[in-house]
Structure 1
Amino acid sequence: MLKLSGLQFLLLIHLAIWLNLEGLSVTGPLKDMDFSVQEGGGPRILHQFKLESPAVSFRTSGEKAGIIDIEPRTGILYINGSLDWETKKVHKLQVESVDESGKRVKGPYAVTIYVEDINDNPPEFNQTKYYGVVRQNSRPGKPFMYVHATDRDDPTTLHAQLSYSILHHFPNPYDEMLFQIDNATGAISPSRKGSYYLDPQKQDTFILVVSVKDMAGTTTNAFTSSVDVIITVKESLWKAPPTIHIKENSTQVHPVNISKVQSNEPGVIYGILEKEKLPRLPFSISENGDIYVTQPLDREERDTYTFFVVSKDNTGELVDKPLQIHVIVEDINDNPPVCQQDLTVIEVQENEKGGSNIGTVFATDMDKKDTLNSRLHFQIQSQEPEFPVQNLFYIQQDTGTLQLTGRSLNKRESAKYFLKVLVTDSKFKTICDVEVHVIDINDQIPIFKNSDYGSIAVAEDISIGSVILEIEATDGDEPATGSSLIIYQVKEGDPNNTFIIETDSETNRGFIRINKALDFETMPVYNLVINATNPEPLVEGVQYNSSSLTVLRVFVTNVDEPPAFRKPIYRTEVSEDIPVNTLVMMVEAYDPEGDSVRYSLEGDVRKWLRIDSATGQVYTASPLDRETEEIYSVEVVVSELNNAAQKSKVFLILHLRDVNDNYPQIATDYPTFFCYPVSGGERTLIQATDADEQFFYSKFTFSLANEMNARNNWEISKFNATHAYLSLKHANFEEKVYDVPIILNDNGKPPLENKVNLKVSICKCSSENSCFIDIDREHSWPTVGQAIGILLGVLIIIGAIVAGAFCHMRYKEKNEKSNPKDAKDDAELNRLA
């Protein structure tokens, strides 16, 4: 502590008296007082107490710490040294005044001195070095260690508020630090980049220089300390186990532990997520990360499983990346062979040579393919009948292929053989039943009952599919076999396949049907040659001959058919401005019988076209207009000249090409107005339209007519291709309707120009910002007086009508009495009059 000598302090006291402390706020009567004094700072005067008679001096006692006292005669309370907050924060004293005899006059009064802290202590770490361990792929921001520092200054002030930071990072292989520190708590954790890149195989040790500052690190004059933190990087505990193999149909007591996972963080909650939606997932995981299979598995039901294991903290947030777990279900031989068919039927021609492959017995095994568990062996167990010899058949043990052992079969000896084939795997066996049918060989050819079916006449308009004749041939081979089934075909005389022949498989009869439309004019007669064959090939030495052929002549009779057009539809495109009587197109039709035809139009509602009835040439009959109808469709009718009932129709479609023949106009969808009074500068959008195609009105130009009033009052500016702004040039407009002359031009070739007088209202506006129109009294509903006058007028008129009718009736009655008979002619009428 800084302390003055007695002489120095007396000089300080005299200086204070010389400065007339009585006139300052630091003087006053003796009473309880509190003082706040910053620590350090050296000697200082705190206060001067004034003497009040009969007191002649002051004295003090209490926690003076050897440097706090009062000058008895002057009453100056002073500190002769420096206070220390860290040593003592509060000093409590008692001050009293005494008289000449030393007897207390006033007091004692409490004087409390509070020592204020200053930042005079640097922070200190609680260790000279720190050591920590972090796991590869640890969660970013999750602390794995802490550093801690303290400061002896007042913790309620910034002096002892500490802020941590990483000063250096050795080594630092990346642009960003791999670690981060919480500036308030000193918690060290991997950064996002560190969580991704930390790898003990590349760098297993890091040194961090951690700095701590007081004053919360916010000022440049804060005290700073630093410490080395040595961090060891270890491999991640969170790893997916190798592929797990589980034998199917295990007899162990379930659940069975099959693997284990461990998170880098303690206390996590483990869970399982399905990769694909299954009816059931037979796996679970314990709170310690042990993975279990919960029930026996069946490889034939599912041979692999894939799922994810996750770890979460108590808030439900993922701690580690999900691990993918693969499980393979290993096969055991738990499935017997299965015959693919309950009964395998094999057909063998009786002339089949020994050693020939006659068929295959198929069986399957649901165990794993290409393993010994699913390898099958075939063996003939029995043959019925055993005639003419045993072992007529042989089966290849690995393929199930059946062969004849040495001789051909004979249907007369046995038409069927029944075989039992034993199929085995390494554990199970199954019997498959086989029937071998011996079928007759095809040594007989079909023979037609009639070698010539003569002639038939068929109208050319007969419908497709109609049967025109039934034919029949016979075959001496075994019925209902490929050797006896007959196939009929037109061999000659039908180059366009106009006819088709279907066989009834039960009776072997053939039905000749119309396959395509007949045409007398193209083919009036057909000379058909028809053959009959079998689907099975004939045996060696047997051939088809003329007995399997027959002939038929079909005469097509002519039917009067309607005329036909050359095209199914006629289309053309013309410009809408072509002159009247221009040739548009020519339609063509013909009559199959060669008769003359005439043309006419139907559906020409606009009377735009006419047709030459003899040539089919179509001309314009009146001006065309694309804006009225762009695609114009009519029907062309062609009929026989001598039989108008025989006719056909076809559509003629006319596409009209646009020309620039419509002047641009101002769109009138909404009224154009400005709210009165105007201020000048207001503007509104106006729109131009054109009935022509977009090619002609995709762009308009707007301008004002060259009139003095128009150019003085209005202004037009471009907005886009179809709109412009109409603006007011001043504020001197009356409340009325103005005609604004506007010149519009489209972009046709050549362009069209139109002058339009646009009605623009200057009007009072309603709260909805629309024109408000006052209704004139003279056009409104009549007043009460007017209504009474109108009613009286109507009554007077009705009364006049009734009076006139009454007078007329009286007059008529009088005439009838004086003229008892009617007039018979004009002369008599004159006489009566």
Structure 2
Amino acid sequence: EGQMGVAGARIWVFLFVAFQVSTLVTPEEQTCVPGFKQSTFILKVTSKHLRQQVSLGKVNFEDCTDRTRFSFSSSDGRVRAQADGALTVKRPITLHEGHLDFLIHIWDSRGRKHTLPVRLLHQERQRDEDNAEAGMEAQVPVVYFHKSGEGLKRRKRDMVIPPLSVAENYRGPYPHKISQIRSNQDKLWRIHYSISGPGADQPPVNLFTMDQVSGTLFVTQQLDREKQANYTLKAHAVAEGSGTAEDPMDIIVNVIDQNDNKPGFVKDTFLGKVPEASPTNFEVIQVEATDLDEPNSDNSDIRYKILSQEPKLPSDNLFAINEVTGAIRVNAGGLDREKYPEYTLEVQAADMKGIGLTGVAKVILTVTDSNDNAPAFTQASYETSVAENKADSQILRMQVTDWDEPHSAAWNAKFTIVSGDPGGFFSVKTGTNKQEGILSTAKGLDFEKNSKHTLLIAVENEVPFAVALPTATATVVVTVQDVNEAPIFDPPEKQVSKGEDLPVGTDVVQYTASDPDTARKQKVMYRILNDPAGWLNVDKETGVIKVKTPMDRESLFVKDNKYTALIGAYDDDEVPATGTGTLMVLLEDVNDNAPVIEERAFRVCRNKPAPQLLSVTDKDGPGNGAPFSVSLQDPSRSNWTARMNDSKTGIILQLTKALESGQYTVVLRVADNRGRDQDNTVQATVCECTGEDNQCQERVAAGTNLFFINIIRGGILLLLTLVMLILLFAR
């Protein structure tokens, strides 16, 4: 009878649950959704020590197809998951803490991963009544408040139980039972259960609820791990009429990740550049995708793949991608900007290590120019001509072509003279359009030495060739044109030393020039081009230069003892060419100048006269000048004395008698160190004064002026008196 009662109760529960489910399912929910039939699976065992091959139970998965066997995997290597969902012990297990939590994974027919939290729970054998009661309830973890010998007294700290696990996106129905809370006091008291915290009585409110009588914990809607990965609730047990029966207990609910987010690239389109001459394995660009699913799990473990390449020429595997890093590299040769300037790749990112959900992005690679085309001359050879002696003259422009990208360093031309110019007579530079070489003369060419030059000119680019390429060259033949060149003096500047007293008509020097136009056999003639003082003459035929008029080293035309004249040499061509030579005559000094006293007048007091210092100079050079000597000439000797100062360059003149005020002439004979002398006359003004106060002239003038002023004043006063007398008598 008891067994029949239990069986009846089970049937009643089954019918009740079926009725509730049928009334809750909407037409939208009747659409099949792949997933486990439980959000959490509890497997109860009666032993803590589980042997190999022990059967633990079976998980059920709905694929919405005809498939009945699947590829299950277990996160715990000690548990084997078979194709039909049966779980067995692969290696012995000991439940040290009374339970073991692990995950069962499966991929549905759409490639989506599903995860089921499983708890292996040790439970002692119970009485039949307990078993019957357990059979009426869905298998969920039952958690008891910590036992206490203190009755209803509150303990000082909360208790924490092992976390609960709930898979996100569980398809329901809801509310879904996930655990049951029990108090050890429920045999003695009527217990009211409740929960608090975020997700219960705090936002998001009523995501979790608890039956206040049974302590059953429900989740009321689907969870989303990407919004919140876990919840911490506080469980409370209150004895009816007696206050708190248990201290609050923390319940942690972990949301188990499902593969419900496909990878997403950080950009819809990636832009990159690849040089056309890039070697194999050259890294071009790196793409990146992210996945909102749980980090460091298969659900977010991304692998990359190139789906397509456009154009597929010259081969469809020009690029490869690192499946882990997303780095795209050159995989084969053949890139050619001139043929295929751009490639578009479609790149895929797939989670579950490449077999899960996918996202795609576009990669546009622009092929940039490399120097894989050598510039080429438009002509293999050139001929040009230039007049001799013409330096820095452009003589030829050479055009080139290049198939590389215009106006790039790989396109811009650079020219060099390879051979044919050991003397450095030519230079070549690149024109402003960067596609022509301009050949110029760096020095004047000499027709008589070499009338033809053959140059080999090469062209390259501003940057080295990216691949092995031949360097283009061109031959340039330059013909030198003969011109009538001016005769050339040798040396261009000629210096001679001559005495300044060289007689008129005497030869100074012969200064000749030669004609570089040896083939023309021309006659060279001479003339004076510039002779500032007019001292020189040149023989037209011989180039002999003679003294025309006397020379003078002390002349203003002489600088630093040098007299410079410009001599011309010209040929007898129809249009004569004239060359110039510079003649510098170093004039040797001759003692042809006597010393001169600089001060020609001075004033001196008649009383206690001060000595006068007179400076002496000589236009001649140092050898014909100081030291000087002096002597007084009659009649000056009777009133004056004269002697040289210590440096022998100045005369100390002393008045020896108190002469009357007035003008006196003093004659001094001054001689240089070679004895050349001359008389110098100076004017001495003797004043009525004493010593060095020789301002007597001003005083005399001032006294005279005062005398005349007084006479004028007296005359005016006399005139006014006469006028007054006349007016008085007229009345």
Bin for the TM-score computed over the shorter chain: 0.3 to 0.5
Higher relative contact order, structure no. (Cα contacts within 8 Å, ≥ 6 residues apart): 2
TM-score normalised by L of structure 2 = 0.43
TM-score normalised by L of structure 1 = 0.38
